[in-house]
Structure 1
Amino acid sequence: MTTVHTLETDGVQLHYEVRGDGPVLVLVGSPMAAVEFGSLAEAMAGEYTVVTHDPRGISGSVPADPDQDSTPELRAGDVVALLDAVGAETADVFGSSGGAVTGLALAARYPERVRTLVAHEAPVLELLPDADEQRAIVDGIVETYRREGVMAAWQAFMKAFGVGGDDDQGPPPPSEESPETLLENSRRFFLHEMRPTTRHVPDVAALRAGPVRVVVGVGAESRPLTTYDTSVALGARLGVEPVEFPGQHIGFVDRTKEFAGVLRRVLRERA
C-alpha cells in the first residue's frame, strides 16, 4: 500500500509517498519526480520502507518562491526533513542523476542520517578535466531554453550529454503528469536546477572521512554518456570502483526488476 503525504519545510511544500515495511530507503531524483521511481519503489517495498518524493519545485512539491534556485544543499535538507517526518534516524539513500548529487550533499552535510548512499550517475561535471567546457555547455543549454523554448533545450541537452530519446523528441513524459506540469518542471530544471546541480563540487574529504558508505553506480550501457565519465571520476576521487547497474541512465525505469536486484545486493553488502 502506498500512502501519500505533504510536508511543509524550509520554503517548500513537499509531496512524498511511503510504501512497504522495514529499514527506510529513500529514492531521490532531480528533476525526476516520485512517479518515475514508482516501479523501483514497489520492487523494493518487500524489504524496505521506501520513501519517494517530488524534489522542490517539481510536480507536487511547490516552493514558496518559484524563482528560487534548487541547490543540492537545499534538497539535502529536504531529505532530512522527510526522514524526520517518517521517524527515521537513519536511512539508506539511492540517488540517481541530480538526485545522486543531492545524496552527495546529504552524506557530506548530514552523515549521521545516512547509512549507505548509492550515487547512480551523478552529473558532477566539475570533476571532469574539461570542466570549463562543460560549464559553457550547460550555460548554452540554458540560453537555448530562454531563446527557443523547451523542446529545443531538451534536444540540446540530449545532444550534449547523450541522455534521452532521439534527436526529434524530448525525454518521454510520465503519463500521469499533465502537459502544464511538464512545462513547469522543465522551466524549473533549466532556469533554477541544472546549473546548481552540475556545478556542485562534492566534499570528497568529508565523504572519505565520514561514516557513510558511498557506492558509485553506473549504467552497464552508459559508456556513451557524460554521466559515465563523471561516475568514473567520482569513484576515483572517493577511492571506490563504480558498481554496474543494468541499463543506461534510467535503468531503474526500463530494467526495474534487474536493477532492484543489484540495488538489494549492494545494500546488503554494507559492512
Structure 2
Amino acid sequence: MGAKVVNKLAVAGATLHYEVTGSGPMLLLIAGGGTDAAVYDGIVGQLAAEYTVVAYDPRGNSRSRYDGEPADERIEQSAEDALALIDEVAGGESAYVLGSSSGAITGLELITRHPERVRMLVAHEPPCSEVLPDAADARAFFQDVYDTYKAEGLAAADVLFMVGTGMDADAMPPMEDLLPEYRELAERMQANAVNFYEHKLLPFTRYEPDLDTLKTVADRIVPAAGLESIDHLPGRPIQLIAEHLDWPVVTFPGAHAGYASHPGPFATHLTALLKADAV
C-alpha cells in the first residue's frame, strides 16, 4: 500500500489539504458536507492496494483554509478544485472519482465541465433536490434548517437536519467513546459546522445538474446510494438522475455514510465497479 503522503495545493481562493496513498490509476475521493479526507480512512487501505488514492478536505473544511473571508460555495469552483488535484497527481491522465453527498455534486459538475478527465464517477447520494418532483418542499426544508441555525444555533439545526434527512442513524457515538483518531475527526467536523450551514448547505442543495450533458457521458457515471438510505431525502435525487441516464441505481452497504459504517464491504463493492468495463 505504501505510506500516506500529506501535501498542500494552492488553488484560487484557498489552499487544499490532500493525502495520497498507494499506487496505480488515480482514484479521487471527494468528501461532503462538513467532513474531510479522514471520513474515507476506513476504505483507503483496501483501495490503495490497486489505486493511487487521493482524499482531500474540501475548501473551507478542516485543514483546507480559505485565503480570505469565507464565501458562499460556488459549485463550479468546487469542481475546479477537484480538477486541480487530478492535474497535480495524475498529470494528463484521467481519474476515477468517488463523491458522496455534496462531494457527489462536485463530481457531477466535474464530469459535466471536464468529461475527458473523469474515467468513471461513482455519484453516491448527491442531495441536489431540485431534480425532485417535490423540489419546492425539499427547498423549503433546507431553508428551514438554515433559518433554524441562524435563529437557534448549531444544536437545533443539527437535530432538524439529521432527522429530516434520515441521517440521524448515522450519528457518531458520544465523543468520549471514540478512538483518538475519530475524536479528532469529530472535533474538526464540529468546527466546520458553522461554515457548512452558512456557506455550503443552500448552494449545494439548490444545485441543478445539467442532465442533458450528463446523458452524453452516462456510460461513465455510476448512480449510487446506500441500501439503507436510498429512499431518504439525500438518496432520492440520484434515483431521478439515474432514470434520465437510463441506468439503475447501484446500492452500497449501509446508509448515507456507508463508507464509514461498512468500510470493508463498501470498498470491495467500489473496487468491483471500478474494474468493470461497462457499468
Q: Specify if TM > 0.5.
A: yes
Aligned residue in 2 for 1:176? 184
Aligned residue in 2 for 1:200? 207
Aligned length: 268
Aligned to 2:160, which of 146, 151, 156?
Answer: 156
- State whether residues 60 and 70 of structure 2, in contact with CA within 8 Å, keep that contact through their aligned partners in structure 1: no
Change (3 A) 1:172 1:153: farther
Q: Indicate whether 1:80 and 2:80 are aligned.
A: no
Change (3 A) 1:225 1:58: same
Q: Which amino acid aligns with 1:114?
A: V
Q: Which amino acid aligns with 1:60?
A: R
CA distance in 2, matches of 1:66, 1:41: 32
Aligned residue in 2 for 1:218? 225
Change (3 A) 1:7 1:172: farther
TM-score by length of 1: 0.93
What secondary structure does 2:90 align onto?
Answer: coil
Aligned residue in 2 for 1:62? 65
Q: Indicate whether 1:185 and 2:192 are aligned.
A: yes
- State whether residues 116 and 270 of structure 1, in contact with CA within 8 Å, keep that contact through their aligned partners in structure 2: no
Aligned residue in 2 for 1:265? 272
Change (3 A) 1:172 1:126: farther
Aligned residue in 1 for 2:178? none
Deviates more, 1:40-49 or 1:229-238: 229-238
Aligned residue in 2 for 1:126? 130
CA distance in 1, matches of 2:266, 2:7: 27
Q: Which amino acid aligns with 1:36?
A: V
Deviates more, 1:229-238 or 1:194-203: 229-238
Change (3 A) 1:114 1:15: same
Aligned residue in 1 for 2:107? 103
What do the CA deviations read for 1:61-90 (whole angstroms, capped 9, x no partner)?
A: 001233211232111100111111113321
Aligned to 2:49, which of 46, 49, 66?
Answer: 46
CA distance in 2, matches of 1:157, 1:92: 30
Q: 1:98 offset after TM fit, Å?
A: 0.7
Q: Which amino acid aligns with 2:111?
A: A
What do the CA deviations read for 1:178-206 (whole angstroms, capped 9, x no partner)?
A: 74x43431011111001111111111111
CA distance in 1, matches of 2:173, 2:82: 26
| Unmatched segments (≥5 aa) in structure 1 | none
Q: 1:170 offset after TM fit, Å?
A: 7.6
CA distance in 2, matches of 1:65, 1:108: 28
Q: 1:136 offset after TM fit, Å?
A: 1.1
Q: 1:112 offset after TM fit, Å?
A: 1.0
Change (3 A) 1:236 1:172: farther
Q: 1:257 offset after TM fit, Å?
A: 0.6
The share of aligned pairs that are identical, in percent, is 39
Aligned to 1:113, which of 93, 112, 117?
Answer: 117
Q: 1:234 offset after TM fit, Å?
A: 1.5
| Unmatched segments (≥5 aa) in structure 2 | 176-181
Aligned to 2:22, which of 6, 20, 23?
Answer: 20
Question: Relative to total residues, which structure has the larger helix share, 1 or 2?
Answer: 2
Aligned residue in 2 for 1:30? 32
Segments ≥4 residues shifted beyond 2 Å: 169-174, 181-184
